[in-house]
Structure 1
Amino acid sequence: MAIGSIKPKHWKGMSLKMSVPSQAESRRPRPLAMQIKWHPPEQPWIKINTDGAVSTTGKAGGGGVIRDHDGKLFAAFATPLGTQSALEAELLAISHGLGLAKELNRPMWIESDSEQTIKLFNGTGWGPAYIRRVMARLVIFKQQHNIRASFIHRKGNKAADWLAKWSLDQTNFGNMSEQTP
């Protein structure tokens, strides 16, 4: 880069986004390069990164990582799920993550790489009928705890993504602590 040539390795961890102006312009939208990575929460929050996965064979699983403001791992999990819907797998992974994190007795911040799931979690609707049971649990949990939820790009959610895919081959809930990741 010092001599002016940009190589693919310089773009590692970057993703292209489009900048669309709010007003009409004569030029086309310009692509923006932005770095995608996980950011720790502010103190005293803990961040719960979750992901759900469904295979082509119909197996489903979920995984997640719970960390603090220093990035310290509190817990991680990978679990097979009894669903065939990606949306339900994402919501069940959030439910499992919240269940583990509530023991820490701190405000919880959910991050998921599913925009639809985050919109549903943050909204007032219940979604399709097949997910209403898990949505009811999440609504009650939100009423009883200090929780926020936000979207994170898949590249910033690699640990949860890996755990969710790994859970597809598991038969039991796997809970890992900072000593056993």
Structure 2
Amino acid sequence: MVWQVQMFVQNSLANGRMKPKHRKGVQMRIAFPSHAGIRRSRPLVMPIKWIPPDEPWVKLNTNGAFFEETSKAGGGRIVQDHAGKVLAAFATPLEAHSAFEAEHLVIHHGLVIASEFRLTIWVESDAAQTVRLLNGPDWGPAHLCRIMALLANHKCNFTIRASFIHREGNKPTYLAKMGLNGVDFQRMNGCSLPRHLKAMARLDEMGVPNLRIQEED
């Protein structure tokens, strides 16, 4: 900033707009602060975009939830085609003892429904460890063996791929909360979705991303 002021003064003197008497007694110097300023963290904004599957695949987005205080679990899943059209959506309570177990169980139920539309299914979840297990040969912890056996059977019968998506782009997060607080299995389609989910699905069809905001490390 100081050098900019100096350049302004020099240019003004050169073109005659400022006379030497105008800067009489004025000294140009830099004043350094006595202590380092506090650098405040700034939020980082990342666009999260839902990518439709290639035809003839369908995409199954899932989310499982577990509330320790009540030991209740719930899950939600939504099935969409290559154009982003919602083929089916579900919210249901689950018999699970952790969020990790709920994540795997909701994928199993989602694959059963998604297979009504295609046998090529792209699973998408915001649980990174669940995605790694689904893509790999391991079965994970012992308490997941029953569910992993069911998923292994699905992998034999269907063509399955799995990928991670941040929570901000995963619509079933809201359906999982409905399942957590509900008592019955609820099946929906594109017309009967809750209004805010219908709006999210429409934005997906239009290619509009969601925003993920996190504090800078």
Q: Which bracket does the TM-score occupy, shorter chain normalised?
A: 0.7 to 0.9
Gaps in structure 1 of 5+ consecutive residues: 1-30
Answer yes or no: is the 8 Å Cα contact 2:58–2:118 preserved in 1. no
Aligned equivalent of 1:86:
99
Percent identity between the two aligned chains: 52
Aligned equivalent of 1:18:
none
Gaps in structure 2 of 5+ consecutive residues: 1-42, 194-217
Aligned equivalent of 2:66:
54
Count of residues paired in the alignment: 150
Aligned equivalent of 1:36:
48
The 2-side partners of 1:40 and 1:118 are apart by 18
Give 1:118 shift. 0.4
Aligned equivalent of 2:175:
163
4+ residue runs of structure 1 moved beyond 4 angstroms?
none
Give 1:178 shift. 2.3
Aligned with 2:96: secondary structure?
coil
More helix by share: 2
Give TM-score, length-normalised by structure 2: 0.66
Q: Which amino acid aligns with 2:153?
A: I
- Name which of 125, 138, 145 aligns with 1:132: 145
1:17-32 to structure 2, matched below 5 A, reads none
Aligned equivalent of 2:114:
101
Give TM-score, length-normalised by structure 1: 0.79
Give 1:143 shift. 0.9
Q: Which amino acid aligns with 2:48?
A: I
Give 1:177 shift. 1.6
Aligned equivalent of 2:124:
111
Structure with larger Rg? 2
Answer yes or no: is the 8 Å Cα contact 2:86–2:190 preserved in 1. yes
Per-residue CA deviation, residues 124-160 of structure 1 (Å, 9 max, x unaligned), is 1111111110100000110111110011111110x20
Answer yes or no: is the 8 Å Cα contact 2:64–2:176 preserved in 1. yes
RMSD: 1.4
The 2-side partners of 1:147 and 1:71 are apart by 18
Q: Which moved more, 1:132-141 or 1:166-175?
A: 166-175
Give 1:32 shift. 7.5
1:142-181 to structure 2, matched below 5 A, reads 142-157=155-170, 159-181=171-193
1:61-76 to structure 2, matched below 5 A, reads 61-76=74-89
